[in-house]
Amino acid sequence: MFKLSIVVPCYNEEEVLHETTRELSQILQGLIDDEKIASTSKIVYVDDGSHDKTWQLIDQFTVENKFVTGVKLSRNFGHQGALLAGVTTASRDSDAIVTIDADLQDDVNAIPKMVDEYLKGAEVVYGVRNNRDTDTAFKRNTAETFYKIMGFLGVKLVPDSADFRLMSQRACEILLSYHETNLFLRGIVPLVGLKTAKVYYARKERFAGESKYPLRKMLKFAIDGITSFSIVPIKMIMGLGFFIVLISIFLLIYTLVQKSNGHVVSGWSSMMVSIWALGGVQLICISVIGEYVGKIFSEVKQRPRFTIEKDTYTEEK
């Protein structure tokens, strides 16, 4: 029988942890009773530098609940960093890992289905939501646009799958061999390859508390996703450049013709407009390039993607 670890990133999640622990323990116990997973299976909470009682709760559950272990990061590293810390720690001795958000938006009842797919030989099992009814219209639309842009840029993503998935130990190892600092797991997991499967589930409302992804973080996440996987935006600048040069040639010819016909070109407005317009276009283009230069800057430094302060998962062994 195999050891399953459920990795749960938590950032200020004191309101949901009781319920999350209850539901996840129930799922694990059920799977153990069905003799599908080993009794050493664990829940691995990753405290991503929370400011509330999250770590105290995790610490308390570690004592009270035989499934719970915790990894405490030294500060807030973000959702992706926290996931990576959990996967790195747990994949050392787990045969398979499920990653799930702490807020119970992802249906825990999909976990046994993922396990079944794993037992049938899949090494990456995606949790795919079959509705977005519980998201706000804004979130739904922005997410849809994002997946469309990514598709247009040629990045392979599994639509409507977030960071709820099961990965075999081998898949985790491959995942961890991607060393990029700007981590966009959703984009890297499909690059792992191996046999995959999908499990559909209905995404629910957040159990309690509020989203830890405000608009600012969501935008950064989207820009990171695009610029770490595609250089099409830079290439598009070249197309834009040619287009503008073409227009300016037409304008030049037009002005010369006007002049030779003796028309005085009263050009102040058009001059002003084109100076401002071109200036704007140039600034945008430079900022796109800057985004990539920034990526290179942060990649070459090879800073750690997370640092662990405490790790009761490994201690326990």
Q: Using CB under 6 A, list all residues that contact ligand UDP.
A: 9-11, 13, 48, 76, 78-79, 82, 101-103, 105, 211-213
Task: Kindly state the number of chain residues that form the binding site for Mg ion, as judged by CB under 5 A.
Answer: 3
- Which residue's structure tokens are 């997410």? 143
Is residue 139 classed exposed, middle or buried when 0-12, 13-18 and 19+ CB atoms within 10 A define those classes?
A: middle
Q: Retrieve residue 192's tokens.
A: 């792992």
Q: Is 105 in the site for Mg ion (CB under 5 A)?
A: yes
d(CA 197, CA 199): 7
User: How do the residues of the chain divide into helix, strand and coil, expressed in percent and rounded to 5?
Assistant: 50, 15, 35
Token output for 4 = 């399953």
Q: Does 15 bind Mg ion (CB under 5 A)?
A: no
Q: Which does 141 bind (CB under 5 to 8 A by kind): Mg ion, ligand UDP, none?
A: none
Tell me if 103 contacts Mg ion by CB under 5 A: yes
Nearer to ligand UDP, 67 or 95 (CB): 67
Which one, 220 or 263, has the nearer CB to ligand UDP?
Answer: 220
Burial class (CB in 10 A: 0-12, 13-18, 19+), 246: exposed
Query: Of 97-105, 128-136, 218-226, 256-264, which part binds Mg ion (CB under 5 A)?
Result: 97-105
Closest to ligand UDP by CB, 76 vs 142, is 76
How far apart are CB 171 and Mg ion at their closest, in Å? 24
Instruction: Give the bridge partners for 51, in sequence order.
Output: none
Q: Which is nearer to ligand UDP, 50 or 228 (CB)?
A: 50
**Smallest separation (angstroms) from Mg ion to the CB of 162:** 8
If one asks whether residue 12 binds Mg ion (CB under 5 A), the answer comes out as no
User: Smallest gap, in angstroms, from Cβ of residue 88 to Mg ion?
Assistant: 22
Q: Which amino acid is at 220?
A: K
Partner whose footprint covers residue 9, from ligand UDP, Mg ion, none (CB < 5 to 8 Å by kind): ligand UDP
Min separation Cβ 220 and ligand UDP, Å: 11
Number of H helices, E strands in the chain: 11, 8
Residue 266 host element (H or E): none
Q: Quick one: 62 or 99, whose CB is closer to ligand UDP?
A: 99
Give whichever of 42 and 212 is closer to Mg ion, judged by the CB atom.
Answer: 212
In whole angstroms, give the CA distance from residue 114 to residue 270.
62
What is the CB neighbour count within 10 angstroms for residue 23? Answer: 16
Nearer to Mg ion, 122 or 127 (CB): 127
What are the distances in angstroms from CA 81 to CA 47, 72, 276, 307?
11, 12, 41, 9
Which residue bears the tokens 């989207």? 222
Does the footprint of Mg ion cover residue 106 (CB under 5 A)? no
Tell me which residues touch Mg ion (CB under 5 A): 101, 103, 105
